[in-house]
């Protein structure tokens, strides 16, 4: 890609940074060289031994050219391009263009690795002991595979950041100012808000696309990172809102939807955090201030995810906070006020 091409074109062309044709040409070139060497494989020692060493060297050079000069630079360029993506500069959408292209890039990388494995099993296996982990070919092949995994993981880290920036942008722009503070008499729709639905749709689409394009371990790390960042985004989102008693039910509906999505990822380490976050939504629908204070003080209620002072920060976003603040403080801290304190 030329340096003068715009960001949009760069994002569209990320999957062109790796080439299956180039990979196949390298494999074919190595195979042709190997076949020429095979002509002399039955020569007696020391020439026959030297032929086997040359076959190994050819494969190692091919892996180094493929990994260091094609795959690694391609993923590095993709990661660099992804970090320049700004959701606000693009049309409203639940897809993240550079991340979609990166998933395709990861799939191409996985296909290249499969090609190498098939070639290794078919052409190299007769000349080496595959179980000998000290063999130069086996070690170089392992280095190639690890480097590819590291490249995918590094790109996914950048991609996760881009994806969660998009999710936060969706939540902010699609959540109206009165969503959690509806006018009196307005009938409640107790389903998830549009911002919540669009954010989950965005996450579901990208998680589905990555599945099958990378290892189970990398996928689990990706899901876990999504959960951690989404939890932080939602907490920050709640602290920006003004939430009425009626709007509290809408908060609970959204948190339930996010919890259902996270549960579908089947990563136990983040499921409990979202179960605790879902429980937090109930502080917005408790009308009695004394009961609310007791809920805030109950440290076991949120499984250790939130301290009382954390929950106290959330309840300050209630629309009736000024009315109940004194009662909540009195109950929480066992204070006794006959009158407001006056300092003379």
Q: Where are the domains of the chain?
A: 7-102+110-158, 175-333
- One-letter-per-residue 3-state SS of the chain: CCCCCCHHHHHHCHHHHCCHHHHHHHHHHHHHHHHHHHCCCCCCCCHHHHHHHHHHHHHHHHHHHHHHHHHHHHHHHHHHHHCCCCHHHCCCCCCCHHHHHHHHHHHHHHHHHHHHHHHHHHHHHHHCCCCCCCCHHHHHHHHHHHHHHHHHHHHHHHHHHHHHHHHHHHHHHHCCCCCCCCCCCCCCCCCCCHHHHHHHHHHHHHHHHHCCCCCHHHHHHHHHHHHHHHHHHHHHHHCCCCECHHHHHHHHHHHHHHHHHHHHHCCHHHHHHHHHHHHHHHHHCCCCHHHHHHHHHCCCCCCCCCCHHHHHHHHCCECCHHHHHHHHHHHHHCCCCCCCCCCC
Tens of each residue's pLDDT in the chain, 344 residues: 333 334 444 555 666 889 999 999 999 999 999 999 888 777 777 666 788 889 899 999 999 999 999 999 999 988 888 888 877 666 555 567 678 788 888 889 999 999 999 999 998 888 887 777 788 999 999 999 999 989 988 888 888 998 999 999 999 999 988 899 998 877 777 799 999 999 999 999 988 887 766 678 888 888 999 999 999 999 999 999 999 999 999 999 999 999 999 999 999 989 999 999 999 999 999 999 999 999 998 878 888 889 999 999 999 999 999 999 999 999 888 765 554 555 54
Q: What is the pLDDT of residue 249?
A: 94
On whether the 175-333 domain is CATH 1.10.3470, my answer is no
Q: What is the pLDDT of residue 148?
A: 93
């Amino acid at each position: 890609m030329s340096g003068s091409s715009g960001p949009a074109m760069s994002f569209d062309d990320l999957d062109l940074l790796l080439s299956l044709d180039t990979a196949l040409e390298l494999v074919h070139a190595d195979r042709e060289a190997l076949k020429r060497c095979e002509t002399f494989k039955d020569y007696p020692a020391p020439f026959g031994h030297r032929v086997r060493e040359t076959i190994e060297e050819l494969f190692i050079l091919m892996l180094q050219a493929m990994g260091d000069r094609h795959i690694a630079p391609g993923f590095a360029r993709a990661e660099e391009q992804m970090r320049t993506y700004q959701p606000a500069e693009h049309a409203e959408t639940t897809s993240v263009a550079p991340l979609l292209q990166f998933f395709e890039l990861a799939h191409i990388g996985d296909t290249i690795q499969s090609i190498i494995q098939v070639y290794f099993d078919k052409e190299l296996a007769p000349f080496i002991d595959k179980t000998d982990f000290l063999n130069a070919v086996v070690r170089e092949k392992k280095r190639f595979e690890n480097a590819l995994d590291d490249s995918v993981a590094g790109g996914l880290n950048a991609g996760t950041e881009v994806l969660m920036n998009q999710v936060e942008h969706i939540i902010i722009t699609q959540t109206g100012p009165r969503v959690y503070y509806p006018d009196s008499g307005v009938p409640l729709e107790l389903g998830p808000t549009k911002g919540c639905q669009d954010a989950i749709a965005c996450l579901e689409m990208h998680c589905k696309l990555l599945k099958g394009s990378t290892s189970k371990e990398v996928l689990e790390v990706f899901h876990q990172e999504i959960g951690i960042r989404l939890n932080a985004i939602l907490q920050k989102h709640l602290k920006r809102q003004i939430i009425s008693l009626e709007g509290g039910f809408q908060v609970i509906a959204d948190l339930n939807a996010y919890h259902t999505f996270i549960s579908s990822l089947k990563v136990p380490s983040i499921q409990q955090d979202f179960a605790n976050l879902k429980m937090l939504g109930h502080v917005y629908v408790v009308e009695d201030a004394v009961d609310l204070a007791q809920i805030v003080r109950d440290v076991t209620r949120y499984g250790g995810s939130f301290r009382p002072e954390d929950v106290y920060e959330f309840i300050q976003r209630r629309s009736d906070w000024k009315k109940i603040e004194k009662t909540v403080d009195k109950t929480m801290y066992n204070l006794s006020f006959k009158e407001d304190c006056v300092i003379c």
